[in-house]
Amino acid sequence: MVTVPASTLAFFERFSRYNSPYAAHEHGRAIDLYPGMPWAPSPVAGEVVGTRTVGAPSRRYATDHDHLILIDTGDRIARILHVEPAVETGDWVEAGDSLGTLIRSGFFAPWVDGHVHLGFRTPDANPYRASGSLPVEVGVDPRPVPWDGTGVVREAGETYVVLDEPTHPDPGSWAGLAGTPGVVLDGGCPHYEGGGVLPAADRERLPVSIAGTRVGVAAGGDVVWDDVTLCANGQPVTGLSLFVARDAAFGAKIVRPDHHLAVGDRVDLSVRRG
């Protein structure tokens, strides 16, 4: 297990371990770090031991290639994706140094913002494989924020809207949507196969909820979603993106390609079971 410390997370506005459909994130074995700017701060210190350009699915909104940067941190090899590298093999980087420019590759869903994907391998493991990374923990204790499912659209993209609620209780500190008192939800509900909680559930089956209705069960750090559909003003949506943030622009992010919501619209999110 590898812990990403608070000093590293401070370079970023948001993070998520589960808000992805890819195997690299299963059981919280990788973390996506959102810097909120075009360049990518390095989340680790060490020597660059390799870079590679890889193919990505063809999407109209993204590039058809991606990049892998490998950094030897001394006891682990860090695997970093989604960055056009400005570094090369043999370079030494400190945490916070620029690795290059963020890219949006075909591995991204259209509603996903630019971010740094980070995973870790032991030195004897194949660093080029997509799966098999070590479990990742974070060295912060995010504050759970309750939400009743209502808000006004603050931002509207083609495939998503962001609401003005819930509001961040203390910008600069880490917070996330409460799934139950004392527990923060992470992931894509229900559009990605599973989700996660912080801290890990301290009992075998911990029900978690959104807007007052149960959406799944946590066991340890993982969540299995129930058979649910989320609805905005009664209309089904793809889901809700769940993350941990310290920026003031917090708000619920509702995913729905070809939605008809506009800035200023009132939204009531509900959960339909079965």
Residues 101 and 187 in one domain: no
Residues 152 and 216 in one domain: yes
Residues 130 and 174 in one domain: no
Rounded to whole angstroms, the Cα distance separating 41 from 92 reads 14
SS3 label, residue 57:
coil
Residue 155 has a pLDDT of 96
**Residue 33: which domain range?**
2-138
Q: What is the 3 state secondary structure string of 104-165? A: CECCCCCCCCCCEEEEEECCCCCCCCCCCCCCEEECCCCEEECCCCEEEEEEECCCEEEECC
The residue among 274, 1, 271 whose CA lies nearest residue 136 is 1
Tell me what the mean pLDDT of segment 176-205 comes to: 91
pLDDT (tens digit per residue) in 26-41: 889 999 999 999 999 9
SS3 label, residue 109:
coil
> Is 80 exceeded by the pLDDT of residue 243?
yes
Residues 128 and 56 in one domain: yes
The residue among 269, 261, 260 whose CA lies nearest residue 239 is 269
> Is 90 exceeded by the pLDDT of residue 25?
no
Residues 106 and 159 in one domain: no
Residues 83 and 160 in one domain: no
Tell me what the mean pLDDT of segment 59-73 comes to: 94
Residues 154 and 268 in one domain: yes
| β-sheet with 98-102: strand ranges across | 39-41, 98-102, 83-85
Final residue belonging to a domain, choices 138, 162, 178:
138
Tell me the CATH number at 71. Answer: 2.70.70.10
- Least reliable range by pLDDT among 43-52, 57-66, 80-89: 57-66
| Cβ 217 vs Cβ 208: under 8 Å | yes
pLDDT band of residue 24 (cuts 50, 70, 90) is confident
The mean of the pLDDT values for the chain is 94
Give ∠ CA 242-138-207 in degrees, rounded to 5: 45
> Is 80 exceeded by the pLDDT of residue 246?
yes
The tokens of 41 are what?
């701060």
> Is 80 exceeded by the pLDDT of residue 160?
yes
Residues 56 and 107 in one domain: yes
Residues 70 and 134 in one domain: yes
How far does the chain reach from its first CA to its final CA, in angstroms? 36
Rounded to whole angstroms, the Cα distance separating 44 from 40 reads 12
Residues 161 and 63 in one domain: no
Tell me what the mean pLDDT of segment 106-124 comes to: 93
Residues 112 and 43 in one domain: yes
Rounded to whole angstroms, the Cα distance separating 220 from 76 reads 24
Q: Higher pLDDT residue, 131 or 93?
A: 93
Most confident of 60-64, 89-93, 111-115: 89-93
Q: What is the pTM of this model?
A: 0.95
How does DSSP assign 110-121, residue by residue? TTPPP-EEEEEE
Overall number of domains in the chain:
2
Among residues of the chain, what percentage have pLDDT more than 70?
Answer: 100
Rounded to whole angstroms, the Cα distance separating 227 from 85 reads 41
Rounded to whole angstroms, the Cα distance separating 154 from 250 reads 10
| Cβ 116 vs Cβ 82: under 8 Å | yes
> Is 80 exceeded by the pLDDT of residue 130?
no
SS3 label, residue 253:
strand
Residues 88 and 178 in one domain: no
Rounded to whole angstroms, the Cα distance separating 39 from 144 reads 29
